[in-house]
Amino acid sequence: MADQATLRAGMATPLSGQSYSSNGITISEQQSCDKLIVRADFSDAATVAALSQVLGQTPALEANTYSMADDKAVYWLGPDERLVYLHAQTAADTIGSVQAAIPAGKGAVVDVSDYYTVIQLSGQNARDVLSSGTPFDVHPRVFGAGQCAQTRYGSATVLLSALDDDTPTFNVQVRWSFAQYLWTYLARVAGYC
């Protein structure tokens, strides 16, 4: 049987962590982190309190926002759905405690660590590159740091999040199978902007 070190060596991301820079933009696949989908009744104060305890933060309660504390980030995906970034390979350790925070049978916690990868766009042209594929308005007045949105980019469903307004920086989360398509798209339009 393989040990943990061998396992780690075998780990892959869809884009092998590649990076691309051209005028005014850097595009790079981020290091992978574990992720959980949490389905629960976020209008229930007790549930939110219990989840806050486990996640170390009040999970984002407003639509189109994310919350962040310590090593975790919580993205609003829908009224009863959040996505938790664990910023480490800790899904296995965390999943039980999150489950325990939700009343039995009245929600779900699903490990989706490998379902998605994250591509980061940074630089003065980042908004133009984003607007080349999505009708979603990424102007800082309507989409500033701390906000996130599920939308589409080209033909892929993505989760956009705004990280920094001064040096425009965005994360684009995409399903593993669409990663190569999205990468090609981003790198192509970066040359046109």
Partner 1 sequence: MFIITCPYCGDRDQTEFTCHGEAHIARPLNTESLSDEEWGDYVFFRQNPKGMHRERWVHAHGCRRWFNALRNTVSDEIFATYKVGDARPPLPENPS
Partner 2 sequence: MSQSCRLDSGGRIDRSKVLQFTFDGKSYTGFKGDTLASALLANGVKLLGRSFKYHRPRGLIAAGSEEPNALMQLENGAYTEPNTRATCIELYDGLVANSQNRWPSLGFDVGAINSSVARFLPAGFYYKTFMWPASMWMTYEKFIRKAAGLGVSPTEPDPDVYHSRYATCDVLVIGGGPAGLAAATAAAGSDARVMLIDEQSEFGGSTLGAAAVPEVASWVAASTAALAANNNVTLLPRTTVTGYFDYNYLTAVEKVTDHLGPGNGGTAPRQRFWKIRASRVVIAAGSIERPLVFADNDRPGIMLANAVSTYINRFGVLPDQNIVVFTNNDSAYRTAVDAARSGATVTMVDTRAEVSAELTRVLQQHKVKQFTGHAISSVQGTKGVKAVRIMPLSADGKSLQGQAWEINCGIVANSGGWTPSVHMFSQSGGKLQYDNSIEGFVPDPAKAKRINPGFSVGACNGSFATGDCIAEGAQAGRQAVEACGFVASDVAMPELTDALNDTGMGGIAALWLVPTVHPVGEGPAKHFHDFQNDVTAADIHLAAREGYLSVEHLKRYTTTGMATDQGKTSNLNALAIMAEIRGAQIPEVGTTTFRPPFTPLTFGAIGGQESKDLFLQERHTPMHQCHVQNNAVFEDVGDWKRPWYFPHSGEDMHAAVQRETLSVRTDVGMLDASTLGKIDIQGADAAEFLEMIYTNNWKKLAIGNCRYGLMLNEHGMIFDDGVTTRLGEHHYHMTTTSGGAARVLNWLEEWLQTEWPEKQVYCTSVTEQWAVVALNGPKARDLLATLSDIDLSKEAFPFMSMREGQVAGIPARVYRISFTGELAYEINVPARFGRQLWETLQEAGKPFNLCHYGTEAMHVLRAEKGFIIVGQDTDGTVTPADMDMDWIVSKTKPDFLGKRSFLRSDTARDDRQQLVGLLTTDPTVVLMEGAHIVQEIKDAPPMTTIGRVTSSYMSPNLERSFALGMLKNGLARKGETVQLSLMNGDAVEALVTDPVFIDKEGVRVRG
Candidates 18, 19, 43, 78: give the one binding partner 1 (CB under 8 A): 78
Of 81, 74, 66, 57, which is closest to residue 146 (Cα–Cα)?
Answer: 66
* Beta-bridge partner residues of 172: 119, 160
Q: DSSP label at 116? A: E
Quick check: 64 binds partner 1 (CB under 8 A)?
yes
Whether 158 contacts 128, CB under 8 Å:
no
Of 122, 133, 111, 124, which is closest to residue 162 (Cα–Cα)?
Answer: 122
* Distance between CA atoms of residues 61 and 78, nearest Å: 10
Total length of the chain:
193
Show the binding pattern over residues 82-121: x = contacts partner 2 (CB under 8 A), - = does not: ----------------------xxxxx-xxxxxxx-----
Quick check: 144 binds partner 1 (CB under 8 A)?
no
Candidates 8, 53, 79, 124: give the one binding partner 1 (CB under 8 A): 79
CB of residue 138 vs partner 2: minimum separation in angstroms? 9
Candidates 70, 135, 141, 166: give the one binding partner 1 (CB under 8 A): 135
* Distance between CA atoms of residues 92 and 113, nearest Å: 10
By CB under 8 A, which span of 3-11, 44-52, 56-64, 162-170 interacts with partner 2? 3-11
Whether 168 contacts 147, CB under 8 Å:
no
- Per CB under 8 A, which of residues 14..43 are in contact with partner 2? 14, 32, 37, 39
Contacts with partner 2 by CB under 8 A lie at 1-3, 6-7, 10-14, 32, 37, 39, 104-108, 110-116, 128, 131-132, 134-135, 137, 139, 141, 154-156, 175-181, 184-185, 188-189, 191-193
